[in-house]
Amino acid sequence: MSSSGHHVGRNALWSVLNQSASQILVLIVFLVNARFIPKEDFGAMAIAMLVAEFFRQMIIESIGTTLLAKPAPDKQDYNAGFILVSGLSILSAIVVYFSSGLIADVMRSEKIGYALEWICLILLTFGLSRIHEAYLSKNMQFKKLALRSIFSVLVGGGVGIYMATEGYGLLSLIVQQLVTTFLSCLFLWVTTDWVPKPDTTRAKISELFHYAKHIATNNLSYLSSAQADVFLSGYFLGPIQTGVYNAAKRVTLAATLIVGSSIGSVSLPTLSSALKDNDHAKLEATFLGFVRFSSFLTAPIFSGMACLAFPIVAILLGDKWLDAAPALAILSIASFFTTLGQFNGNLILSKARHFLKSILAIGQAVSGVILLFLMAPYGVEYAALAYALNCILVFPVMLHLSLKIAEISFGKYWEALWPSILSSTLMSAAIFGGKYGFLVFDIILNPIAQVLIFVPMGAVIYFAAMWIFSRETILESLHFVRASLEKALFNKG
C-alpha cells in the first residue's frame, strides 16, 4: 500500500477516535439518563436541539465546510471565516431566544420553550470554535480533536448524570449541553496554533460567504431530510412519542458517528487534496478506498443492530423503551445508506459542483418531507420507515451522478462494496436462523443471552465470509491499525 494510503488510514483512525470516543461517552450518558428522565423531557430536548441545529447547519457548519472544501485556504481565509461565523452565531442565538415562545406554542409544549431559552447559548460556543475545528481538520490534527471530544463530553456528561439522578429532569439535559460545548470551545482555543485576527479582506469574506450560501442550501436540505422526522414526530405525535423515536435514532446516530461520519470527515479534505494534485488515479483510489473501508466496518454493525433491535433496546434503555425497537431496526438499515452516501456528496463537493449538490439535497429534502407527512401521523414505526425509504431511494441517484462527475465506473465501485454487503447478508441470515431455531425448540433467551450468543456468532460468520470474498480488505484494515499504533508509540517515544 502507498504511503498516502497509510496517511489516510492513520488520520481516519484518529478521526474515528475523535467521533467514537465522544459518541460512546454521549451514548453512555444518554443510556444512564434514560433511567431517570421522563420520555417527555427527552422529546422536548430533541426539538430544542433541532432548532439549534438548524441555525448551526445553516450558518456555522456551512462556513466551516466551505473552508474544508477549499484546496489550500490561507490564514486570511480562516480569519474571514471566523468574522462571519462569530457574528452570525450571535445573531442566531438572539433569534432563537426571542422565538422560543412561538415555537413552544406551535409544538404545544411549554417545556420546549423553556429549553430553547437556554439552548440558544450553545450557538455562541459553536460559532466561536468552528473555524478552529476546521483548521485542525484541514491540517489533519485529529488527535487534538479527539482529546477535545473526550474531555468536554466526559465532564459535561458527568454533570448531566449527577443532575439527572438528583431529579432535575429536563434541566439536567440542558446543563449537560451547555457545559460540554463551552469546554469544547475552550479546549480548541487553547490547543490550536492558529489565532483569529482581523487580518483579512472584504474580498475574502465575500468569496467565503458566496460559497457558504451553496453549502447552507445543502445543509438545510440535509437537515430537512435527516431531522424532519424528529420535528414531524413531535408535531403529529407529541413529546412522549418523539422521545421514543429520538431514543431509537440516538442509538443509530451514535453508531453512524462513531465509524461512518468520522471517516467521512477525513474524506472531504483528502479528496480535495487529491483533486488539487490533478491525479485522477489517486482520486479514484482514494474514493474507492474510503468506500471499501467504511462498508467493511459499517455493514455488519448496522445489519446486526437491525437483527437484534429488541434485545439491544432492552439492555441499553430498559423495558420501558421497548416500543423504540422497531424504529431502531428500520433506522439501522437507513444508516448504512447514509454512511455511504456522504462519500458521494463529498466527492461532488471536492469537484466544486456546489450547485448540483444543492439541487440534489433539495430534492432529497422534499421527497423526505412528503413521505413523512404521509406516514408519520400513523406512529413511530411509520416515521422511521418514511425516513429509511427516502435514504434508500435517493442513494442510487447521488451515486450515479458522483461516479459520472469523477469518471469512476460503477463496476469498480461495486467491486469495493459487494464483499461486505454479501458477508453481512449471510451474517444476518445466520442470526435470524439461530433465533428461529431457538423458537422451534421452545427455548426463550433473555436479552443478554441473545446478545452474548448471536454477536460473536455473527462476527465469526462475517469475518469468515470477508476472508473468502475479499481478504485484502481485512489485511488493509489491519495494516491501517498497526501503522497508526506504531506511529502513536513512536511519537510518544
The string of DSSP letters for 161-191 reads HHHHHTT-THHHHHHHHHHHHHHHHHHHHHH
Mean pLDDT over 296-301 rounds to 91
State what percent of residues in the chain have pLDDT above 70.
86
Using alpha carbons, select from 5, 3, 9, 4 the residue that is nearest to residue 488.
Answer: 9
Over residues 196-214, the pLDDT tens digits come to 888 888 888 888 888 888 7
What is the three-class DSSP state of 144? helix
Angle at 48 (CA atoms; ends 42, 52), nearest 5 degrees: 135
State how far the Cα of 155 lies from the Cα of 133, in Å rounded to an integer: 20
CB 447 within 8 A of CB 310: yes
Q: What is the pLDDT of residue 229?
A: 85
State how far the Cα of 141 lies from the Cα of 15, in Å rounded to an integer: 9
Residue 318 has pLDDT above 70, yes or no: yes
For 368, residues 6+ apart whose C-beta sits below 8 A from its C-beta are 224, 225, 228, 229, 386, 387, 390
Q: What is the pLDDT of residue 398?
A: 84
Over residues 270-286, the pLDDT tens digits come to 666 666 666 677 778 87
Write the CA distances from 139 to 3, 11, 189, 427, 456, integer angstroms: 17, 10, 16, 39, 38
State what percent of residues in the chain have pLDDT above 90.
44
Write the CA distances from 77 to 59, 82, 203, 248, integer angstroms: 16, 9, 10, 40
Read off the pLDDT band of 490 (50, 70, 90): very low
Q: What is the pLDDT of residue 381?
A: 93
Q: What is the pLDDT of residue 267?
A: 59
- Higher-pLDDT residue of 329 and 349 is 329
Over residues 132-184, the pLDDT tens digits come to 998 888 887 777 888 888 899 999 999 999 999 999 999 999 999 999 999 99
Over residues 226-261, the pLDDT tens digits come to 788 888 888 888 888 999 998 999 888 877 876 665
Q: Torsions phi, psi of 18, nearest 5?
A: -60, -50
State how far the Cα of 478 lies from the Cα of 70, in Å rounded to an integer: 31
- Higher-pLDDT residue of 461 and 15 is 461
Using alpha carbons, select from 140, 148, 152, 151 the residue that is nearest to residue 188.
Answer: 148
- Higher-pLDDT residue of 269 and 66 is 66
State how far the Cα of 421 lies from the Cα of 401, in Å rounded to an integer: 22
Mean pLDDT over 430-458 rounds to 93
Read off the pLDDT band of 453 (50, 70, 90): very high
Question: In this structure, which long-range contacts are made by residues 396-400, counting pairs with CB atoms below 8 Å and at least 24 apart in sequence?
Answer: 397/360, 397/363, 398/341, 398/344, 398/345, 398/348, 398/360, 398/364, 399/341, 399/344
Cut 0.85: pTM above it = no
Count CB atoms within 10 A of the CB of residue 61.
24
State how far the Cα of 63 lies from the Cα of 49, in Å rounded to an integer: 20
For 55, residues 6+ apart whose C-beta sits below 8 A from its C-beta are 89, 92, 95, 96, 123
Mean pLDDT over 348-365 rounds to 69
Residue 360 has pLDDT above 90, yes or no: no
Q: What is the pLDDT of residue 405?
A: 79
